[in-house]
Chains A and B, each alone.
Chain A
Amino acid sequence: MQPPVPLLEMRGICKYFGSVKANENVDLTLFPGDILGLLGENGAGKTTLMNVLFGVYSPDGGRILIEGRPVRIRSSADALRHGVGMVHQHFHLVPCHTVIENLMVGRPGRSGRLDRRGTLDGMAEVERRFGLALAPDALVSELTIGEQQRLEIIKALVRGARVLILDEPTSTLTPQETEGLFSALRSMAAAHMGVIFISHKLNEVRAITNKLMILRRGKVSATLDNDQSISRRRLAELMCGREITPPAKPPATRGEVLLEMRDIHTGGTSRGRLKGVSLQAHAGEILGIAGVSGNGQLELAEVISGMLAPTTGVFRVSGREVTRPSPRRVQQLGVGRIPEDRMGTGLITTLPLASSMVLPRIHEKRFSRGGFLRQGAIRDFVKEQMQRFDIRAPGPEVRTGTLSGGNLQKALLARELAWDPLVLLAAQPTRGLDVAAARFVHEQFLELRRRGRAIIVISEDLEELFALSDRIAVMFEGCINGVVPIEEATVQKIGMLMAGVKEAA
């Protein structure tokens, strides 16, 4: 028997951005039926490599072969024609269009008109072969995140993709949705397609893939079969170039209640509105908040940080009721906040780093007097924080937006921790950070916990919540659907609560 022809070969791919070598001599081989896990830290070049394959970037060197034939992929149109489909991390969908309109984009019509029937046939075919279905006339904006992702996959399959690239596909899914995705991927592999699965969640990569390829600083650091002989630790080492162990977590010493919410309701959209949230965060504990995005986590964070006033309910910080909440009021009561959108309500991208880092405290005597800024004091403060937190930037004057994600998050942390908050609220604190940066953030949280502060971590990364939390509260449709002590928490249990199932007593 002849060895099978690879479905896809990338040979010696190079891609440079100025002096940055995003990809250097990368080789990748994918056989029919393969599910290849592409691992690597942020900035290792995973997404760049896939964007080269999908025609978004043109490579500075190297060749791409599909079923043994060299091809030139210079645009997404080329990639699609050669059977390469991609599901981007940020979905490429039009929210105000329907499912079928999103599927018909870029496709030829029938006698000058949109080919609705042909597209419906394609959808039916995808449903028959892979079990993926959606209502064709539903508006995309009304779909859940999981359904939007399914639409992205259907879009690629309807276009006849034989190689499917998935960039961080599970980061916003519930465990159950992830399982659904995995079963679809398995049926694609069984149908002799090839799947490339980009992720940095090692557990999931190990669960679904049969081969692994690890990138580090733009180069292939290892290509191996996914079998049980490789340890998790070994994989992390291959990704980072050194061993990274999770920070030690001593047993909790729970103290008094530092933050309390009782039956908090808010106005707002039906999906995100809080409908009676009660929770307590104690001194010396990390309270994790889990939930599928859009179930009120954002609103909860806004209430805690004083940006959104509850319509009813009691909100107390260290025993004092917050009657007229404002960001400054809760800040004065000792709440620090690391918002989800670092570049939006966190730091100000267009201002110098120094300004971004003192803005919430700019009224304090330390930084301004008589309406004038004390530039020297500001600079010294920021320099000191940069040193303490190892924020890598040319100086305090550099534009905030030029910092990398990890450094931005460190800057935020430094800003909030400089005032030793009683309660720290952190939303998606390690989203988009690489392993080393994430570990640094976690260390800081554990240090606060040791010093008897309360930390509230809102995260969509269950691995993170399991590693950090003392208790996990799960949000569903604006309510806390259950609070589980970490000793009793399992992925299944949390997943059920995330999906809205009440715990069976």
Chain B
Amino acid sequence: MNEILAQVFQVGFFAALIRIATPLVFGTIGELFAERSGVLNLGIEGTMMLSAMTGFSTAYFTGSLWLGILAAMATGILAGLLMALLTVSLGLSQHVSGIGTTLLCSGLSFFFYRLIFGQPSSIPNIKPFDVVPIPGLSAIPVIGPILFDQFALVYLAMAIVPLSAWVLYRTPWGLNLRTVGENPDAAYSAGVSVTAMRYQALMIAGALMGLAGAFLSMAQFNAYTFGVISGRGWVCIALIVFGQWSPWKSAAGALLFAFIDALQLRLQASSIINVPYEVFLMMPFVFTIVGMALVSRNARAPDALLKPFRKEER
């Protein structure tokens, strides 16, 4: 047992954990903005897939990773606008619109990938992001290599959690957003445009989902594959319930999920426990289900979640 622990809990393990958590943090915080405004964005999985593809392709042809990031974010914003059009302007079912958006976006990503790259014998790849050690901080023993010897996008994810908490709870915009998600009538009668708030929330959500997708195809991996997202979007949705719609708790959930994911990767690689590797692959998802079941009893979703707002309705 001690042998396993020693093999697993090394600095590299925790550094990997942080990298695994990064796209989940982007996706979760993005989805959080959407849900706090009252829109469940089930388009997250497809949005991440499509932006992973656009980001990768842009980087592949321009040679600029940051242009790729911009392209991925723009893709996410467009997908968010589509969701907004369907659920806010047209007031359609959020479940159906979200699943439709996911199917459309994932279909588009496969389609354009084929169109652009054909069926190459070797998978096209890019030179992905390099780690950017933060001078000074990265030299701290243990903590340094775990937290401060990472990709630039990892630092961004670290910043985005407190930033989003600050925006949600300390700014007028955040209060308006939360009010729109709880009681749109209250927001409207206080002079807030429910439509504008939800559009803005879905665009921000889309941009962050775009970052999540781009991180996977441009930092964690160096290529776009059809399985690049493999359910991480759905995990984000579960993490929000787990985190009870709070940015801090949801991010903590992302870390916990990443911990188990990193753990199962190590256990797979180690030959000490002799079980089929699929068992390990399953672990993070089992955790998600169990965690949700435990926590969701007292989780309270925003009151107006899933409800379209129509002011002239009688």
Contact = CB atoms under 8 A, between A and B. Distances in A.
A418 interface: no
A77 B191 contact: yes
A106 B171 contact: no
A174 interface: no
A17 B312 CA distance: 10
B170 A105 contact: no
A94 B175 CA distance: 11
Contacts of B269: none
Given A88-B189, A102-B186, A57 B312 contact: yes
Contacts of A315: none
Given A56-B311, A109-B172, A88 B185 contact: yes
Contacts, number: 80
Interface stretch (B114-122, B142-150, B176-184, B285-293): B176-184
B309 to A, nearest CB: 12
B190 A94 contact: no
Interface string A226-267: 000000000000000000000000000000000000000000
Contacts of A114: 170-172, 175
Interface string B292-314: 00000000100100000001101
Contacts of A115: 172
Interface string B187-224: 11111110000000000000000000000000000000
A17 B190 contact: no
A453 interface: no
Nearest to A104: B175
A155 B182 CA distance: 17
B175 A101 contact: yes
Nearest to A78: B191
B183 A93 contact: yes
B257 to A, nearest CB: 27
Contact of B182 (A75, A81, A94): A94
A92 interface: yes
Nearest to A156: B189
Contacts of B176: 105-106
Given A17-B314, A101-B175, A104-B175, A92 B183 contact: yes
Interface residues of B, number: 23
B189 A54 contact: yes
Contacts of B178: 94, 97
A108 B173 CA distance: 9
Contacts of B172: 104, 107-109, 113-115
Contacts of B187: 105-106
A113 B166 CA distance: 9
A96 interface: yes
Contacts of A90: 185
Contacts of B185: 88, 90, 92
Contact of B191 (A57, A80, A93, A97): A80
Contacts of A96: 182, 300, 303
B94 to A, nearest CB: 20
A112 interface: yes
Nearest to B186: A92
A428 interface: no
Contact of B190 (A57, A112, A155): A155
Nearest to A91: B186
Contacts of B312: 56-57
Interface in A444-473: none
A112 B170 CA distance: 9
A331 B172 CA distance: 53
Nearest to B304: A94
A116 to B, nearest CB: 10
Contacts of A93: 183, 186
A214 interface: no
B190 A76 contact: yes
A105 B300 contact: no
B223 to A, nearest CB: 41
Contact of A113 (B171, B179, B192, B314): B171
A86 interface: yes
Contacts of A105: 175-176, 179, 186-187, 190, 192
A17 B314 CA distance: 9
Interface of B: 170-172, 175-176, 178-179, 182-183, 185-193, 300, 303, 311-312, 314
20 contacts: A17-B314, A54-B189, A75-B193, A76-B188, A76-B189, A77-B193, A81-B191, A86-B189, A92-B185, A92-B186, A92-B190, A95-B182, A95-B303, A96-B182, A96-B303, A102-B179, A105-B176, A105-B190, A106-B191, A113-B170
Given A86-B189, A94-B179, A105-B187, 6 more contacts: A56-B311, A77-B191, A80-B191, A92-B185, A92-B188, A108-B172
10 smallest CB-CB distances across A and B, nearest first, come from A106-B190, A77-B191, A109-B172, A92-B186, A106-B191, A94-B182, A105-B190, A106-B192, A92-B189, A92-B185
